[in-house]
Amino acid sequence: MVLLFIPFFGKAQDSAIYSIGADLNYHPQDFFFHVRGQLVKQNLSHEVFLGFGIKSTIFQGQFRPQLGYDLSYKLKIASWFSVSPLVRMSYSLLNTKVPEKHPFIHTAESFIACRLALGKKNQFALTGGIGPSVEWKYDAYYAKRNHFFMWNYFAEIGYYHEF
């Protein structure tokens, strides 16, 4: 039983850095606001984020959640500056409310991106990337699901606080 707790003792626990954050993201389909959780261990960063489309949700009354994951490698240039190439995968859903039976537009995306971060414990970050996207919606007229492939990009500004 004691063997199960060995990873939680000693230096193994201290080597991980945890952060929470928020960002504002420009995307061709919408502006998104996200909250983020980040784990950095040996310069490899894992992040999950959850947010919503501001234009769709607030101004158009169509809820548009987005869920995603970032995997990056943090290259420290100085104690207060880092550059991180990253891979992002995200999924968003738009409820158009039309047609009533199948109103959802689904979007799955992947991006190759880069993040510039400034600061130590409190960090400001600029991130931008480009990548393929697949969008699908059920077509009631043809009674089948239609897929659309496109290239998308994003630019975001974010804030992180380390614990």
Q: What is the pLDDT of residues 93-109, one digit of tens each?
A: 998 877 777 889 999 99
Q: What CATH fold (topology level) applies to the domain 18-162?
A: Porin (2.40.160)
Amino acid at 93: L
Name the pTM for this structure.
0.85
Nearest to 55 by CA among 47, 64, 67, 46: 64
Each domain of the chain, given as residue ranges in start order, spans: 18-162
Cα–chain-centroid distance for residue 22?
10
Nearest to 123 by CA among 87, 84, 155, 68: 84
Q: Which two tokens stand for residue 107?
A: 């979007």
pLDDT tens figures, 141-153:
778 889 999 999 9
The Cα 110–Cα 89 span in angstroms is 4
| Radius of gyration, CA atoms only, the chain | 19
